[in-house]
C-alpha cells in the first residue's frame, strides 16, 4: 500500500504535530486511528485543507476528552453521531472532527441515519464517493499508510467521481450537489453510472425531500467555490432549481449576470478604497442574482423557509424591491449628497449589483463615484470637538452632522478649517436665527 508519510511531512508543523499527537494518544488507548475523507483526498491532490476528519476504532468521545486535555483546548460533543469537534487555535487554524468508526442505517430516504459502531472499512463504505472514502493511518507504527479499500486512489488519478453503492443519492440526496461541486472544483467527471443514479434520484424529486437547512448549506458551499457559475449551469441542466422554489427558472439573462458577478467582485476588491470597512460576501452576490426572478412574496417565503440569516434575506429582498426605483432616481441630475442619500442606506452587495443592472453610463458613473469616494467621505470635526462648540448630542446634533457631510460631499469645503467656518457661518448661525 502507498505511504503518504512524505506528503504528510510537508504539512504545516501544527498539522503534523496534531496528527502525531492523535496517533500517540490512540496508541495509549489501543485504538487504531485514521484521518479520513476530504483531508486524505486533498493531501494526495496537494490542496491545503485544515479540516481534519479523524476516525478511531474505539470510543471517540473518550478519546477526544483525552486529546483536548493534552492540547489544553475545549471540545464539543455531538452525541447523536458519536462525534466531537476540537478547534486548535494558532497561525494555522485546525478543525478536528473525531468520530467513532461507524455504520449508518438509513431508515427512510433523505432522512438522517441511525448510527452504530463499526470498523474503519464500514465507516469508509458509507461515504459519498470513492475519492472521499480513503483513510490515512496515523497510528505511530503505520504513520502515513494509505488505506484504500475501494480504489479511491485510482479514481483520484483518473479524476472520476464514483459512488460507493447504488443507493447513495437516495440515502443522501445532498450528495448530488456535492458531486456537482467536486466535479467543477477539481475538474472531475461524474462517472456514467453515478450520473444515471443522480438523474434517477432527481427525477424522483429526492432533492425536494431533503431538509431545507441542509440544502441551504450545500447551496452556500457551491456559491462559495471560486467559480460557482459552472456548477449552477450543471444544476440547471440536470433538473434546475426546483429544490429551491418550484417556479425558479434561471434564464440566459440571469446566467449572463451571474457570469459578470466574478469580474464585478474582483473590481470591487482591487479598487475599492474602503474595502476593509465594508465586507462584501461574494456568495451572497450570486444568491441575489440567482433568485432575481422570484417575486418579493416568493422570496420572503422561500428564504425564511430555508432559514437564511435575516441580514442576508433583507439584502436579497432589497435588491428585488429597490433596484428599479434607485436606478430611476439616479437618472436625474443630482449632487453628490443626493447620490449618497439614495445609496448609503443600501447594502454594499445591493449597490454593487445595481452596477450590473444599470445600463446608462451616467448612472453607472454615479454608483462608482459613490463606491470609490462618497461612501467613505467623513467630516473632519469629531464629536468631542463639536461638543466643545456647545453642541449637545441629540436629534439636532445628528442633523447638523448630516448637513455638514452633505456640504462636504458637494464640495463646499475641503480642509478642517474651512469645515469649521462652514459649520459656524452656514449651519449654526442659521439655526440660531430660526
Ligand atoms: N461525506 C459523505 N456524505 C456527505 C457528506 C460527507 O459521505 N453527504 C463524507 C465524505 O467522506 C467526506 C467527509 O464525509 O469526505 C467529510 O465531509 P465534508 O467535510 O463535508 O467534505 P469534504 O470531503 O472534506 O469536502 P470539502 O473540501 O468541501 O470540505
The answer to whether the CB of 58 is under 6 A from ligand 1 is no
Residue nearest to atom 18 of ligand 1 (CA): 38
What is the 3-class SS of 146-165, one letter each residue? EECCCCHHHHHHCCEECECC
The answer to whether the CB of 137 is under 6 A from ligand 1 is no
The answer to whether the CB of 102 is under 6 A from ligand 1 is no
| 142 shares a domain with 165 | no
Please report whether residue 150 resides in a domain.
yes
Determine the Cα–Cα distance for residues 118 and 104; give it in Å rounded to an integer: 9
Any idea what the CATH number is for the domain that residue 301 is in?
1.10.3090.10
Please report whether residue 414 resides in a domain.
yes
Please report whether residue 388 resides in a domain.
yes
The range of the structural domain enclosing residue 293 comes to 252-376
Determine the Cα–Cα distance for residues 131 and 126; give it in Å rounded to an integer: 13
Residue nearest to atom 26 of ligand 1 (CA): 38
27: left (phi over 0), alpha (psi -120 to 50) or beta: alpha
Q: Is the dihedral of CA 407, 315, 226, 35 positive or negative?
A: positive
| CA nearest to 79, candidates 107, 101, 99 | 99
- What pLDDT is recorded for position 276? 54
- What pLDDT is recorded for position 434? 58
Please report whether residue 295 resides in a domain.
yes
Buried/exposed 3-32: b ≥16 CB within 10 Å, e otherwise? ebeebbeebeebbeebbeebbebbeeeebb
| 257 shares a domain with 215 | no
- What pLDDT is recorded for position 409? 96
| 147 shares a domain with 6 | yes
Residue reference for cell 466574478: 262
| 201 shares a domain with 123 | no
pTM of the predicted model over 0.75: yes
Residue nearest to atom 3 of ligand 1 (CA): 128
Please report whether residue 245 resides in a domain.
no
| 20 shares a domain with 138 | yes
Rounded distance from Cα 143 to ligand 1 centre (Å): 22
Please report whether residue 312 resides in a domain.
yes
Residue nearest to atom 7 of ligand 1 (CA): 127
Calculate the alpha carbon distances from 188 to 156, 166, 172 in Å: 9, 19, 20
The answer to whether the CB of 174 is under 6 A from ligand 1 is yes
Structural domain ending residue among the three candidates 202, 220, 240: 240
For ligand 1, pick from 127, 164, 217 the residue to mutate: most ligand atoms within 8 Å of CB. Answer: 127
3-state secondary structure of 77: strand
Task: Write the DSSP symbol of residue 207.
Answer: G
Q: What are phi and psi of 139, to 5 degrees?
A: -70, 160
In contact, 41 and 156? CB cutoff 8 Å: yes
| pLDDT tens digit at each of 434 positions of the chain | 788 988 998 999 999 999 999 999 999 999 999 999 999 999 999 999 999 999 999 888 889 999 999 988 889 988 777 789 999 888 889 999 999 998 777 777 777 777 678 899 999 999 999 999 999 999 999 999 999 999 999 999 999 999 999 999 999 999 999 999 999 999 999 999 999 999 999 999 999 999 999 999 999 999 999 999 999 999 999 999 999 999 998 999 999 999 999 999 998 888 875 555 678 999 999 999 999 999 999 999 999 999 999 999 999 999 999 999 999 999 999 999 999 999 999 999 999 999 999 999 999 999 999 998 999 899 998 888 888 887 877 778 888 889 999 999 999 999 999 999 999 888 887 776 65
Query: What total number of domains does the chain contain?
Result: 4
**DSSP of 282-332:** HHHHHHHHHTTTS-HHHHHHHHHHTT--HHHHHHHHHHHHHHHHHHHHHHS
| 183 shares a domain with 268 | no
| 148 shares a domain with 24 | yes
Rounded distance from Cα 236 to ligand 1 centre (Å): 23
Any idea what the CATH number is for the domain that residue 229 is in?
1.10.110.30
Residue reference for cell 432589497: 318
Q: Look up residue 108 and give its three cell numbers.
A: 427512510
For ligand 1, pick from 35, 36, 37, 170 the residue to mutate: most ligand atoms within 8 Å of CB. Answer: 37
| 298 shares a domain with 214 | no
Instruction: Give CA 162 to chain center in angstroms.
Output: 26
| 292 shares a domain with 180 | no
Nearest atom within ligand 1 for CA of residue 175? 8
Contacts of 20 (CB under 8 A, 6+ apart): 138, 140, 143
| 234 shares a domain with 275 | no
| 295 shares a domain with 165 | no
| 110 shares a domain with 40 | yes
Please report whether residue 20 resides in a domain.
yes
Beta bridge partners of 52: 96
Task: Write the DSSP symbol of residue 3.
Answer: B
Please report whether residue 247 resides in a domain.
no
Q: Is the dihedral of CA 230, 235, 238, 241 positive or negative?
A: negative
- What pLDDT is recorded for position 398? 83
Structural domain ending residue among the three candidates 103, 137, 154: 154
Contacts of 2 (CB under 8 A, 6+ apart): 145, 146, 148, 153
Structural domain ending residue among the three candidates 154, 185, 216: 154
Amino acid at each position: 500500500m502507498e505511504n503518504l508519510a512524505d506528503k504528510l511531512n510537508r504539512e504545516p508543523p501544527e498539522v503534523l504535530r496534531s496528527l502525531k499527537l492523535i496517533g500517540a494518544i490512540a496508541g495509549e488507548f489501543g485504538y487504531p486511528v485514521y484521518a479520513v475523507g476530504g483531508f486524505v483526498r486533498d493531501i494526495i491532490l496537494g490542496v491545503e485543507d485544515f479540516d481534519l476528519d479523524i476516525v478511531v476504532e474505539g470510543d471517540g468521545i473518550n478519546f477526544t476528552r483525552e486529546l483536548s486535555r493534552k492540547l489544553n483546548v475545549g471540545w464539543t460533543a455531538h452525541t447523536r453521531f458519536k462525534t466531537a469537534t476540537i478547534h486548535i487555535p494558532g497561525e494555522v487554524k485546525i478543525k478536528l472532527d473525531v468520530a467513532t468508526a461507524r455504520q449508518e442505517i438509513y431508515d427512510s430516504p433523505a432522512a438522517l441515519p441511525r448510527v452504530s459502531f463499526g470498523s474503519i472499512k464500514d465507516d469508509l463504505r458509507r461515504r459519498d464517493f470513492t475519492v472521499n472514502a480513503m483513510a490515512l493511518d496515523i497510528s505511530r507504527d503505520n504513520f502515513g499508510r494509505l488505506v484504500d479499500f475501494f480504489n479511491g486512489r485510482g479514481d483520484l488519478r483518473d479524476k472520476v467521481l464514483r459512488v460507493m453503492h447504488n443507493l447513495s443519492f437516495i440515502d443522501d440526496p445532498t450528495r448530488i450537489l456535492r458531486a456537482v461541486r467536486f466535479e467543477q472544483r477539481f475538474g472531475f467527471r461524474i462517472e456514467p453510472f453515478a450520473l444515471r443514479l443522480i438523474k434517477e434520484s432527481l427525477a424522483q424529486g429526492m432533492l425536494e425531500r431533503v431538509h431545507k437547512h441542509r440544502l441551504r448549506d450545500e447551496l452556500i458551499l457551491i456559491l462559495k467555490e471560486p467559480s460557482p457559475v459552472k456548477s449552477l449551469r450543471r444544476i440547471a441542466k440536470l433538473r434546475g432549481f426546483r429544490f429551491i422554489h418550484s417556479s425558479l427558472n434561471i434564464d440566459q439573462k440571469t446566467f449572463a449576470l451571474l457570469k459578470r458577478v466574478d469580474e464585478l467582485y474582483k473590481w470591487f476588491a482591487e479598487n475599492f478604497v474602503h474595502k476593509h470597512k465594508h465586507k462584501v460576501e461574494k456568495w451572497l452576490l450570486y444568491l441575489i442574482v440567482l433568485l432575481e426572478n422570484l417575486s418579493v412574496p416568493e422570496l420572503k417565503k422561500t428564504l425564511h423557509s430555508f432559514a437564511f440569516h435575516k441580514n442576508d434575506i433583507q439584502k436579497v429582498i432589497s435588491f428585488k424591491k429597490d433596484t428599479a426605483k434607485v436606478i430611476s432616481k439616479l437618472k436625474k441630475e443630482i449632487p453628490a449628497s443626493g447620490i449618497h442619500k439614495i445609496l448609503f442606506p443600501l447594502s454594499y452587495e445591493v449597490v454593487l449589483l445595481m452596477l450590473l443592472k444599470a445600463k446608462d453610463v451616467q448612472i453607472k458613473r454615479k454608483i462608482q463615484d459613490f463606491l470609490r469616494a462618497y461612501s467613505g467621505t467623513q467630516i473632519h470635526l469629531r464629536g468631542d470637538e463639536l461638543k466643545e462648540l456647545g453642541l449637545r448630542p441629540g436629534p439636532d446634533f445628528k442633523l447638523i452632522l448630516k448637513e455638514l457631510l452633505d456640504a462636504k460631499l458637494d464640495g463646499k469645503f475641503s480642509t478642517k478649517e474651512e469645515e469649521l467656518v462652514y459649520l459656524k457661518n452656514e449651519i449654526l448661525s442659521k439655526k440660531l436665527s430660526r
